[in-house]
Structure 1
Amino acid sequence: MKYLRFLIVALLAFCCAACQKYRYETVEGDPLATRIYTLDNGLKVYMSVNTETPRIQTYIAVKVGGKNDPPETTGLAHYFEHLMFKGTSQFGTTDYEAEKPLLDEIEMLFEVYRRIPEEAARRAIYRRIDSLSYEASKLSIPNEYDKLMSIIGADGTNAYTTKDMTVYIEDIPSNRIEQWARIEADRFRDPVIRGFHTELETIYEEKNMSLTNDNRKIMEAVDAALFPNHPYGRQTVLGSQESLRNPSITNVKNYHATYYVPNNMAVCLSGDFDPDRMIEVIDRYFGDMEPGAEVPELCFEPEAPITEPVVRRVYGTDAESVVLAWRTGGAATPDADMAELVGSILYNGKAGLLDLALNQKQQVLKSDAGAYVRADYGMISVEGRPKAGQSLEQVRDLLLAQVARLREGDFDERLILAAVNNHKAELMQTLRTNEGRADLYIESFINGTPWAETVHRTERMARVTKEQVVAWARENLGADSYAIVFKRQGPDPTVRKIRKPRITPIVMNRDTASRYVREVQAAQVDPIEPHFVNYNREMSTFRWEPGAEVLYKHNDGEGLFTLTYVFETGFSHDPLLSPAMSYLRYLSTPDMSAERINAELYDIACNFSLRTMGERSYVTISGLGENMGRAMEIVEDLIARAQPDEAILATLKENLFKSRADAKMSQSGNYTALQRLMFYGPDFVRATTLTDDRLLELTSEELLGSVRTLFAGPHRILYFGPASQQELRSELSAHHPAPTRTEAPDAPHMQQLLTPENKVYVAH
């Protein structure tokens, strides 16, 4: 018996030791039950379990971005991100031993190339680089990383680089953890810089495209004005043209050795997995990576206070706009919470100062605001676009007046509580998805904010008072302490595109596979047992009234609801629907002003949207489930009893004309219009687009009649939320009128055109 007891005690001790091999942190009150591990080499691992689908969202984040680029090779973080997809000594090559001498000589020649000023000598060296690269390509196998991800069933293969971070993205099946960890650990430990000069061509093109992207130019100008001492403002993620023209493989390798070390990385996971097995697999493959001796700390001179407006100007083809921005503290400072609150008070899409004073009253074509918080510094920005005949200076003054109201405390204190409630609802939406969860982990790791601060952020924000908001605004959003960028139309005198050198097409070796790829392909894994959705069991349908069928799905995971009315009528049936829905958002009812409607919906953390597409229209009400009845009451009353306002309609028409003119100046606007023409043809475009003359003739009676006719017709009701079927029936009976028609209007089906021959469409 003593021997048996000894064995039992020894076995329990062994089990406890095994369980404690990987210690992890948790945070009380965390709805995700997040586990945060730190391996012996410093690698952070964040994970939460979500068994909704047999998939896992994986992000591997490196705490390095454009701000860490050496001044002589800016853009390095971004183009190294591209090079991380080129393979290792194990894959991406047929014979690395034969390939390596060629790659080493290419590296050496680039070091010579970047230090020679004479163009003739540079061209001669580049021809040698091109020749060697062609020979090396005979031994390389392009896109093997993508093939590996395809083999294991990964989805969403991607990566991105910002000023603060570089992140690598994969969505993998839950039975492929082992293969995923093996491949990722291999490429993070042993990336081989191959195909360098052909990848540079891609990066050149990305840089050239950015030179005509007005939004990017505006944000780069804002950064330069706010952060003259910090890399946020001194260099861009894509790098300078001079740096891109003089790249260095040696610097790339040094960069990898310095920053791509486990004590500067985090693996962020959410999905269907066993945490104990997951951490064991990650440790097995990543645990032997050598930590960096010392990851360099970013050094910069603190920014001096701004005492007068810093003015910048940007030119381009897009519509004119003006952006104002105030500098704030970084993500790990108390400014982060306050900035988010202040951003929501200024603009939230419904009841912010800009929403009610400028957008709802159509004082400008469009305005918005928000907080943009990064690791080292943040900002509050406000933006406006002018109406026809309005100057950017006038828009500036209107925006400044609303920020002044904030400093003066001229806002309803309920906006703070409403902002907190809406933050809570938005967080619930984020936590629904694996991507949203993993994104929050990345923010915590990169910004150096403890996970507990993210978990309890809503509680902290709820304790903020109006007095604190006003005091913060007076200190941080001064009348003269901002940067301002005027975006005007016209040729940009600064655009100088990079001329790409002539490159010999490389050998692709499309039908070749490395031994590494064949091993992964041959790996045996336990199959995922399919779960077939039984719609009769998973969700319910019932007829509420003739012409109104309900598709119901109970959501007991959180307190959010989504209620959508789906009408089989779109702008192909009635071109008036689009302007009608825009008009409705500006109107009042006999009992509530438009401003009060938006403010009350924001107070109860609910939203509504009206949108019409080619063959369908949607009305969606969403938010906190406890407030669904009140939200339905407000929205349904607006649709039924909206009061026409001819002054609002006249201004709306002016703004629609201005928007049309602006769209003609927009690259994306032209491209979208070109696609529509190409897909459906000119007859469809003419039939579904109101001419300027027809738009000018529109009356309130026509527009409101169009919406009410829509609502009188048959439709489906889609519900996902915490209410029971009986509770939903009661709310519909109380607030939603039954259809008076049971048949939808006839209209030609939106047939895409056939393509019997090749055609090229061009919009200048």
Structure 2
Amino acid sequence: MLRKKTLLFFIPIVLLACLPVTAGSGLAEQTYQFELDNGLRVIMVKRPWAPVVHCHLMFDVGGIDEPPGLGGIAHMVEHMAFKGTSILGSLDPFREQKLLAQVEEVADAYFAALQSGAPQEEIDRRHTEFLRARQEAQEVVQPNILFQLMEAQGAVGYNAYTHYDHTSYVVSLPANRLEAWIRIQADVLLDAVFRFFYEEVDVIKEERRQRKEDQPDGYLFERFLAAAFQKHPYGRPLIGSMEEIANYRTQTAREFWETHYRPNRAVLVMVGDIDPERTRELVERYFGVLEPRERPPSWIPEEPEQEEERRIRVEYSAEPRLLIGWRQPAYPARDIYALNVIKALLTSGRSSRLYKRLVVEEQMALSVSGSTEFPGSRYPSLFVLYAEPRHPHTAEELETAIYEEIERLQDELVSEEELAKVHNRARASFLYTLASNTGLAEVMAFYELFYGGWENLLAYPEMIQSITAEEIREAARKYLRPERRTVAILSPSPAKKTE
């Protein structure tokens, strides 16, 4: 299956057909929005039927904003944002400040010895000093303080995630405890302390190893994206390479944090049993003190046009898998709507063309799924199909069958009946997604940052309904061509590949 992180990026077409039913005027009437002087956009949706609120703070910064050589640093600072502040988490703030400075001084000496090729005896001595300094700094810290505080407030799902395009901090909690999260989150943005930094580096190194050794899908997708994007940072692993992770330094991470995680690059969406006036007062009081910063110049290179098929084969101790991606445009190109309808026709539901043929009728595949705007939406990306063959069938057999169905779309017009089924499935999926405070907050935050404003949700149903059979055929002909695709096949091997 395609990874869960891709869900948000094919919501626009696949899920939005039912919007007038659930969102339309009802959503508009229950939505309150404002912008702070520092640029933070705030959206509140009043849903009073349960005394809870879901909060979603999304920044328009992610993996693609990392400078060369600092792959994964966005993921790293996401981790550090949960380590507390100079007050929250410190048993002795003044002493801790001195101890953390000492950690950095010893770290400088240790890394300098490593890089200069010093004698092993000196490296070992520096490493021992490094570990001792870190241990001393830990003695004046209360670990996991933010999680403890939020748990005491009745919060659930207190978490964060980093994507190529954005970073999100999320939580659900009782409505009468909303002030606690607002205050803590604003304090973190104002005064985060990057304690336990090198301990967290070790944690991320282990994540990196596990991804290579125990996650065949993660390994396949990483290699696939590297082949598909040879210049654009969509081709880099979100977690970074082992070499990049090993070279992380506290000051570098802090500079990235202070440069990018600013209120003028964020939207805060709160959905639930909200008192709009009181909530606005809280947001202005706590988030209003945060300072904006001008966005740095973009360094992101444009990916050249692909002129021929690219193929890779990945050996791994796992069952075979097939991954195919075609280059597609970014929002607001109208063709992305047609491509999303194509994705639904091929892979959404048991009656979709590929699922019905490969999984149900011919039983060649264990699963088949798809995504658009993968792995991101800020720049041109990929229309992706993923399948797992059922023994004794092969990935190559599935590939041939998939191309046959693509050719059908390029040669024949989709019937009105089949299009109607796609629209019905879209309604059901969208209702399910936006029924939850969590789903609605995520989608609204994403549209506010990247799709021109949350209000554009209200225009999507007409866009979906307006896509014609002729447009579907033309989009298939224009984008799903051999020279635009990258193919990755995972083949079983006796031993797992490690980095």
Structure 1 match to 2:239: 238
Which residue of the other structure, out of 53, 76, 79, is the alignment partner of 1:79?
76
C-alpha distance in structure 2 between counterparts of 1:312 and 1:441, whole Å: 37
1:368 equivalent to 2:368? Answer yes
User: C-alpha offsets along residues 206-258 of structure 1, whole Å, 9 cap, x if unaligned?
Assistant: 1111112111112112211221111110x211111001111111111101110
User: C-alpha offsets along residues 517-538 of structure 1, whole Å, 9 cap, x if unaligned?
Assistant: xxxxxxxxxxxxxxxxxxxxxx
User: C-alpha offsets along residues 623-675 of structure 1, whole Å, 9 cap, x if unaligned?
Assistant: xxxxxxxxxxxxxxxxxxxxxxxxxxxxxxxxxxxxxxxxxxxxxxxxxxxxx
Deviation at 1:194, TM superposition (A): 0.7
C-alpha distance in structure 2 between counterparts of 1:483 and 1:361, whole Å: 27
1:307 equivalent to 2:303? Answer no
1:368-517 matches, within 5 Å, as 368-373=368-373, 374=376, 375-409=378-412, 411-491=414-494, 494-496=497-499
C-alpha distance in structure 2 between counterparts of 1:290 and 1:221, whole Å: 39
1:599-748 matches, within 5 Å, as none
2:393 match: secondary structure: coil
User: C-alpha offsets along residues 30-58 of structure 1, whole Å, 9 cap, x if unaligned?
Assistant: 63533332111000112211112111111
Structure 1 match to 2:252: 251
1:195 equivalent to 2:191? Answer no
C-alpha distance in structure 2 between counterparts of 1:298 and 1:343, whole Å: 32
Structure 2 match to 1:44: 41
Unmatched segments (≥5 aa) in structure 1:
1-26, 497-764
Distance 1:71 1:110, change over 3 A: farther
1:206 equivalent to 2:207? Answer yes
CA contact (8 A) 1:114 1:247 kept: no
Structure 2 match to 1:283: 284
Distance 1:59 1:112, change over 3 A: farther
Which residue of the other structure, out of 41, 66, 70, is the alignment partner of 2:67?
70
1:149-160 matches, within 5 Å, as 149-160=150-161
1:360 match: secondary structure: helix
Amino acid aligned to 2:198: H
Deviation at 1:446, TM superposition (A): 4.0
User: C-alpha offsets along residues 280-337 of structure 1, whole Å, 9 cap, x if unaligned?
Assistant: 1101100111101x21243333222222211112222221121111121224433432
2:194 match: secondary structure: coil
Structure 1 match to 2:221: 219
CA contact (8 A) 1:266 1:445 kept: yes
Structure 2 match to 1:261: 262
C-alpha distance in structure 1 between counterparts of 2:86 and 2:301, whole Å: 41
Instruction: Find the structure with the greater CA-based Rg.
Output: 1
1:89 equivalent to 2:92? Answer no
Pick which of 245-254 and 442-451 moved more.
Answer: 442-451
Distance 1:134 1:387, change over 3 A: closer
Deviation at 1:127, TM superposition (A): 2.2
C-alpha distance in structure 1 between counterparts of 2:297 and 2:451, whole Å: 13
C-alpha distance in structure 2 between counterparts of 1:113 and 1:243, whole Å: 17
TM-score (norm 2): 0.89
Structure 2 match to 1:29: 25
1:388 match: secondary structure: coil
CA contact (8 A) 2:189 2:290 kept: no
C-alpha distance in structure 2 between counterparts of 1:379 and 1:243, whole Å: 26
Distance 1:369 1:306, change over 3 A: farther
Deviation at 1:107, TM superposition (A): 2.7
CA contact (8 A) 1:329 1:335 kept: yes
Amino acid aligned to 2:58: A
C-alpha distance in structure 1 between counterparts of 2:151 and 2:25, whole Å: 38
1:47 match: secondary structure: strand
**Identity across matched positions, percent:** 27
Distance 1:114 1:471, change over 3 A: farther
C-alpha distance in structure 1 between counterparts of 2:418 and 2:56, whole Å: 35
1:589-608 matches, within 5 Å, as none
Distance 1:247 1:140, change over 3 A: same
Structure 1 match to 2:15: none
Structure 1 match to 2:272: 271
CA contact (8 A) 2:339 2:476 kept: no
Deviation at 1:122, TM superposition (A): 4.5
C-alpha distance in structure 2 between counterparts of 1:139 and 1:60, whole Å: 30
Deviation at 1:268, TM superposition (A): 1.4
C-alpha distance in structure 1 between counterparts of 2:412 and 2:297, whole Å: 40
Deviation at 1:418, TM superposition (A): 2.3
Amino acid aligned to 1:85: F
CA contact (8 A) 1:318 1:489 kept: yes
C-alpha distance in structure 2 between counterparts of 1:254 and 1:388, whole Å: 51
Structure 1 match to 2:20: none
C-alpha distance in structure 1 between counterparts of 2:106 and 2:326, whole Å: 46
C-alpha distance in structure 2 between counterparts of 1:448 and 1:112, whole Å: 47
1:156 match: secondary structure: strand
Amino acid aligned to 2:471: Q
Amino acid aligned to 1:321: R
Amino acid aligned to 1:31: L
C-alpha distance in structure 2 between counterparts of 1:39 and 1:68, whole Å: 24
Which residue of the other structure, out of 54, 57, 62, is the alignment partner of 2:54?
57
TM-score (norm 1): 0.59
CA contact (8 A) 1:340 1:370 kept: no
1:194 match: secondary structure: coil
CA contact (8 A) 1:41 1:291 kept: yes
Deviation at 1:145, TM superposition (A): 0.7
CA contact (8 A) 2:103 2:130 kept: yes
Unmatched segments (≥5 aa) in structure 2:
1-22
Structure 1 match to 2:3: none
